[in-house]
Amino acid sequence: MSDLSGEIIDGRYELLKLIASGGMATIYEGLDLRLDRKVAVKIMHAHLADDEKFISRFIREAKAAAALSHPNIVAVQDQGWNQSGIPAVFLVMEMVEGHTLREYLFERGALPAAEAIRFLIPVLSALEAAHKIGIVHRDIKPENILISKSGRVKVADFGLAHGELIGNTLTVESSVIMGSVSYLSPEQVQRGVADSRSDVYAVGIVAFELLTGQKPFSGDSPIQIAYRHVNERVPAPSSIAAEVPPLLDLLTQRATSVNPDERPRDAGEFLSQLLEIQKEIDPQRPQLSLELDIPPAPIREKSRSPRRAVSTQSDSPTERIETMAPKEKVQKSKRKETTKRVKRNRTIAVIFLLLLASAAWYAILGPGTRVLVPSVVGGNVTQASATLTPLGLKTEVTKVFDEEINTGIIISAQPAGGARVKEGSTIHLTISKGIERYSVPSLKNLSADAALALLKENSLIAGTVTQAFSAKVKSGLIISSNPSSSASVRKDTPVDLVISKGPEVVPFDSYIGKSAEQALNELTDLGFDVTPTYIYSDSVAVGAVIAQFPDGGTSAPKGSKIELSVSKGSALVFIPNVYSLTQAKATTLLQDLELQVTVKTIGNKAIKTVTDVSPKVGSQIKRGSTVVITVG
């Protein structure tokens, strides 16, 4: 679309300059000629003006924002069709002079938790007002969050909004294409549906980006990114920025859950939980304050020096005549006394003396005696030495850690580039040692005092200390640490410690005379290692406990062994009547009684049966004894 700067829309709005252009509309800085105030004028591209669907969406944006009155929402002031000039559908909004949150993130990168919360609170406050009247934004992203020069945070672009007040005509495809894929909730991608929890998801992604300086997912195409939002859980911000407070870390994970039911139900609930976390992080901060959302902090603006006022005041003509009259008489008399040639010679002499004095000052006292220091910031020591040494300057190096500057790069120089110093002076260079990281030492099986000393030695501090039972680690020694050993962390990172209380001692009952199955189940559930041994007993029923070691009614450490002697019944058995049974049936019956069977065969019958048993039927013998049967 051609630049319409200079045009007057609807006989009222003069387009001063183009601010931004998108796929659907172009935004201009304008002047409301009727009220003499700056405005932002959004004009739909000409090729879309005949598309009823796009015009409907354009008008819906005006209705959505006009239905909301909130200090953190960009106000819509007018909407219409230009009838007096170039055909155009336009929207007039308040002019927010400043920058977007995206530009702020490009400038600052990851933000401290307290500062990130100060950006999120006004955004959630604006969405809370929208959700209360049934309006869902559906396109929350850093590009649609504006920060004015005064520090006011404002949510813009309700173009994808829908709700009872404004209708809902967008299809699944159009919402996915028009929305920003990195901030779309899984339900928007899969089903094209959105409610207040979809806005909560988008704010959760913005929170992740504020805390870590990066988006949670990347990919070669928007489809890949959308797929990851649907099929992967957004990682915890603390997995990238370890200093994120646990409560804020947990809230961000809840807000970005794939399941909408696990998120805060709307922006109001999200906001109340965030305010509670803000109290935890900064309890001294006044909760009721008249201050703006964030401190005013313009980004890379060109300095604008005010023009100096030039006084035009002069004496009155009469005063000038009276003042100048005596001087003119004197000058006339001097001209008579001094020739032009003498005056010229005097002037030349004065100029020559001034030049001579200036040259002497420059060479002896002024900058001529000094060396101009070149800028070496951003290079390495080798490059700096090659630049400074030929000028007769020395270097002195100090190394410091830096989270942003790569190892070996010069962070600053003192005196800085552009200064003038005497030849032979020393330039003090501050060199980056890179990011400061320390490896968590192995603390397992150390005493608490030894662990604390080792943490201090490695520039770390003790975090939360808890106790737990352990059958493997002696009482008073470290069971585990978090972060675990060998993890690379920042200086003064707290390391949580778990200290052993020794094995847990558990009381248990006596199971003598009781079911062995009951004893085995209950003792195993208590954490003991139970070993049953099965023996014969003429006095204890089959399956009952004969003896137990250690005895019941006492206590033992969890995991210790308990031995049970279990009855197999009597060692004696009566020989049953197996006469007339086939050889196979008789053998099986006797073997079931744990008796050994020997078979003697007589006669030539096809089907042989038992004709004799030895020892005789009814005899009592020990299990394992041999019984001879005769079949024929």
Topology classification of domain 438-500: Trypsin Inhibitor V; Chain A (3.30.10)
From the centroid of its chain, how far is CA 122? 19
Q: How many CB atoms lie within 10 A of CB 567?
A: 21
Tokens, residue 122: 């006004």
Which tens digit of pLDDT belongs to each residue from 110-150?
999 999 999 999 999 999 999 998 888 888 999 999 999 88
More confident residue, 300 or 164: 300
The answer to whether the predicted template modeling score (pTM) of the entire model surpasses 0.85 is no
The pLDDT value given to residue 504: 87
Cα angle 367, 368, 373; round to 5: 65
Percentage of the chain modeled with pLDDT above 70: 82
Whether 98-281 and 373-432 share one fold: the answer is: no
Percentage of the chain modeled with pLDDT above 90: 45
Tokens, residue 147: 């920060």
- Where is mean pLDDT largest: 101-110, 180-189, 190-199, 324-333? 101-110
The pLDDT value given to residue 145: 94
Topology classification of domain 572-631: Trypsin Inhibitor V; Chain A (3.30.10)
572 φ/ψ angles, rounded to the nearest 5 degrees: -100, 150
Give the single-character DSSP code of 325: H
Residue 406: band (very low, low, confident or very high) from pLDDT cuts 50, 70, 90 = confident
More confident residue, 180 or 233: 233
The pLDDT value given to residue 89: 85
CA distance 610 to 407: 98
Least-confidence region, from 18-27, 203-212, 490-499? 18-27
Does 139 qualify as catalytic in the annotation?
Answer: yes
Residue 289 has pLDDT above 60, yes or no: no
More confident residue, 285 or 477: 477
- Catalytic choice (139, 157, 199, 266): 139
Residue 594 has pLDDT above 60, yes or no: yes
Topology classification of domain 373-432: Trypsin Inhibitor V; Chain A (3.30.10)
CA distance 108 to 111: 7
The pLDDT value given to residue 66: 76
Burial class for 531, CB neighbours closer than 10 Å (0-12, 13-18, 19+): exposed
- Which of these CATH numbers, 1.10.510.10, 1.10.1740.10, 3.40.50.970, 1.10.3080.10, describes 98-281? 1.10.510.10
Residue 569: band (very low, low, confident or very high) from pLDDT cuts 50, 70, 90 = confident
Q: How many CB atoms lie within 10 A of CB 587?
A: 20
CA distance 560 to 95: 76
Residue 362: band (very low, low, confident or very high) from pLDDT cuts 50, 70, 90 = low
- Contact assessment for residue 146 and residue 96, using Cβ atoms and an 8 Å cutoff: yes
Output the average pLDDT for the chain: 82
In CATH, the number for domain 505-567 is 3.30.10.20
Q: 8-94: CATH homologous superfamily?
A: Phosphorylase Kinase; domain 1 (3.30.200.20)
Domain boundary assignment for the chain: 8-94, 98-281, 373-432, 438-500, 505-567, 572-631
